[in-house]
Structure 1
Amino acid sequence: MVLRPVRKSQGKQAQDKHTKSRRDTSPKSSKKASFARSIRSTLSTSSGQAHSGQVSLRASDKKLSFADLFKASESKVPALKRNQEVSGKIVSVSRNELLVDIGAKSEGLLAGHELTAAADLVSDLSVGDPIEATVLYPENDAGQVVLSLRKLSGEKRWKELEEKKENHEDIDVVAMEVNRGGVICEYLGIRGFLPASQLVKAPSKLEDLIGKTLNARVIEVDKQSNRLILSQKQPEKKDLKEVVKLLSKVKIGEEISGVVTAVLPFGIFVEVDIEKEIGRSGDQVVRKAKKSEPDDLNTQKPDNLSKLEGLVHISEISWEKVEDPAKYFKVGDKTDVIVIAKENETGRLNLSIKQLSEDPFVEVSKDYTKDKEVKGTISRVTPYGVIVELTRGIEGLIHISKLPPNENFDVGQSVECSVEAVDTKSRKISLVPLARTKPVLYR
């Protein structure tokens, strides 16, 4: 008797096919599919290298086990880390997601909130376009690399803000928080500051502005320091001539007196009454200004066209490093300033306080000659080295390449160093730690 294999009925075959199809849609099958693509890519790469003479394929290579293939793919595809920058080409664009071939085991995925946050960028992209992104998560449940375009999007928006400032265009911002000095606003993910003194109609309580959309103009933008300053007070066209006249009475390098109207993390605003400060002959007239109360910031009066407001940036407050301007000034303080720049378009002044006096570094640095041994206290530990305060207002840097590998450095610690170099122009002193312990010698 001849035994014949029993064949599955067509219905059974269809059911098995349907069951397999359902299994293939699971995250695990997605991982397997991604891995299979990686294996094919690895083999095709190896094959291409063989044609170019870089790799010689043996006959035994055709009989690789699954473990061998897995090991080969692992060696070919580098591991990704969070916040790592990657580049690739877009392979798919849809309403809900964007897929990018970044040369990894699977495609990079941009979806959800990350897609919404970069909607203005994605709208201009299509399949085949090159793109740079940041790794948010090396692998999700489906084995895909989750990407973010926030860095690229942020760079584009900083550029937009610079253009808005140059073109004197208004922008809409959302009030997020308030503090004593004003309102912290957000523009497409970038946070800026709107001083209370720059509000046109300030409510009795600044907290009432939270969540509201405000129209303002960019008066200062700096991507490097992550600084965005806004203002609602802009001179009307009919008043612009008067403002320019006032600015023409002020000369760069001139010393004047003013009153602090706002103290912010990045500097202070100082208001100057030009008519009272500048005499007909151009000589200075000391102004007897009364201190303004902090509460007056919440009830701003209409602009007085004899007054101009200027910013003393945090870097212009003192020759020594300033961490918090509030430790130096408060609203209502009178202070002397020097004009370092004028902005005719906005009717504002750029002011400095530290330039009223000579830079102490020039004189003090004469005491720090090359190879001189000095003592100091560590004030900061940074990724690039250790900052040592040698005396008040004078600091030196021990570069990370000069630090001993087996020694710890902490803030407040006393250290002994030798002067390696002094750069008066950039106000930098390079230091090298002294080795007081003799190295252990091995025979």
Structure 2
Amino acid sequence: MYGVPVAAPAAGRPGGEEWRAQRFRLCLWIVAVLPSTYNAILAALNAQGLRSSRAAAVAVEGGILALCMAACFLTGGRRRDLGPILLFFFAAIQAIVTSLINETIYPDFLRNMAIVAAFTAVGYRASWRDIRAVFRILSIIVLVVLLIELIHLPLYVAMFQPASYLQASRGLEEFSLNDTGLFANAVGFQGRFSFGIFQGPRTSSIFLEQVSLPGFASVLLVFLLGNWQRISKSDKALHVILVVLIVLSNNSRTSSALLVINAAGYYAYPYLSGRLTAAIMPICLLTAFIVVGPTAASLGTDDTIGRLSITVADLMNLSASELIFGSLSKVTHAYDSGYNYLIVSSSIWGLLGFWIYLTFVPASQTPAQRRVHWGLAVYIYLWLMIGGTAVFTMKTAALLWLVVGNMVSGGGNLDKADH
């Protein structure tokens, strides 16, 4: 007959809204920091005899995505969630259709788009101060481990045993061992591009392989494009020193080019409509076809023309059926060609769906938002010219889409002085 009275919150105990806010911040910090660090944690445990496996890495990624969903539920649905939700369901349907047509199960496209959608949605809800603090902490961690790697490589190998971990978690057929204890591709080879400043293998820091580290530097540049005006001088110095050190020690052509492009773009991007980013992909592909056309003999050489020639050759060799329905049997041979990777794993419709998302979901109302939108698009579309999976790895993609989502909400509203 009588309702049970609800007790007021005890002294010192947060109320409902405050409780949810605290839980969300805890979830945010976990899903922001763990994607970049979990491989290093598992590798360190593996080095101490606690054998890791691919299942452990998959379980961690699945747990992180589940925690992203929990964080979003804590704060309730929002109108802007429609974009990420549509992307996720589109990817799910596309993955099912492609798998049925190709008579095999291949969930990578769904997993890749789930990362994009989940972290965009969490970014909507995050405070820019939390995002700023996350980047500060991660930059410090990456820098400290990078310095250990540069100054005392045997200690770095002893801490993480990268080759052993990648063998256990990825399989020997993908990650060949060598006598340095490092991932084989980090060792490099004679004649490969190098600034000649640091001797020794290409650096990897907490990412354990040489591709994700310059990817982290590129994502850090996108963060700086949108937040340069309001981060402290010490944060600016930390991030800039780290980006330059990564570029010089990793000898990555793509991240070097992105550093120069975005330095100039910081001043140009605010005057460009975000919708114009849709033109970057066709311009990149058209340029590659024009440049590579008369130099097909460079196919496979490890220089800019050689890497572009792989993309051009792979796209030209696609049949109409493979464009429309995908070709999952070709996925493992498409990792050096991002556009081809997206097409064979999800068909041309998957590539177009991702292109539409990149064009319309990021905000472009303020100068800071346009800087991030253009930085995002330049990074994604350029990197897809020479690599298939790097822009989708959770190690760096989580941070990237947190920044993009955050700029849609409070992160894009800078002080008047920044406008």
Q: TM-score, normalised by structure 1?
A: 0.22
In terms of fraction of residues, the more helix-rich structure is 2
Relative contact order higher in (CA < 8 Å, ≥ 6 apart): 2
Q: TM-score, normalised by structure 2?
A: 0.23
